[in-house]
Amino acid sequence: MARVSYVDESSHPELAALIGEIREERRGRLIPVYGLLLHSPDVARAWLALINAVRWRTRLDARVRELVILRVAALNDAAYVIDVHRRHFTGADGLGAAECDALCRAQVPPGVFEEADAAVIAYVDESTRGAKVSPEVFRRVRGFLDERQVVELSVLIGAYNMHTRVINALEIDPE
């Protein structure tokens, strides 16, 4: 059970417009993370905007985005995010079950991913585990992504580190 209560939308008519925005952006539902974030409406609104931007308004392709999200979630032991993304997004965005399984391991086994994906995974791992990226790993990922994409990759990793850590701290319930 979540450590804080979920906002009961029927008890908060002043949040109706924001809840409508959230539903529109989140598969028609008020998903659990927003049920918690609505305790702070401005934070919920900003969170929605940030997550939408890093998920849908970048030049990173969908496969790379899902690879990053799943890997960050695995490194941070965020079962909620792993479950949601495996059920709703990874397959449609080009990640197979074996690749998802590999991303959820402590160390991604060699040979599962092509060089570009492996470079992104190394970047995610260093950024998430140590909050720094070595020159070697940066050069590897830069060989596959332009400057804009490297910025977008870095922000996506940071945003999902925030996302997974807040979800874990509040012990959000599964969907």
Q: For 20-60, write each residue's pLDDT tens digit.
A: 999 999 889 999 999 999 999 999 999 999 999 999 999 99
Q: By residue range, what is the domain housing residue 43?
A: 9-56
Residue numbers in the chain where pLDDT is lower than 70 = none
Residue 51 vs residues 45, 57, 65, 132, 145: alpha-carbon distances, Å: 10, 10, 12, 22, 21
Question: In this structure, is residue 4 part of a structural domain?
Answer: no
pLDDT at 85: 95
Residue with tokens 């479950």: 83
Q: How many domains does the chain have?
A: 2
Indicate the pTM of the whole model: 0.95
What's 143's domain CATH number? Answer: 1.20.1290.10
For residues 15 and 82, membership in a common domain is answered with no
CB atoms within 10 A of CB 35: 22
User: Tokens for 123?
Assistant: 């970047």
Question: In this structure, is residue 1 part of a structural domain?
Answer: no
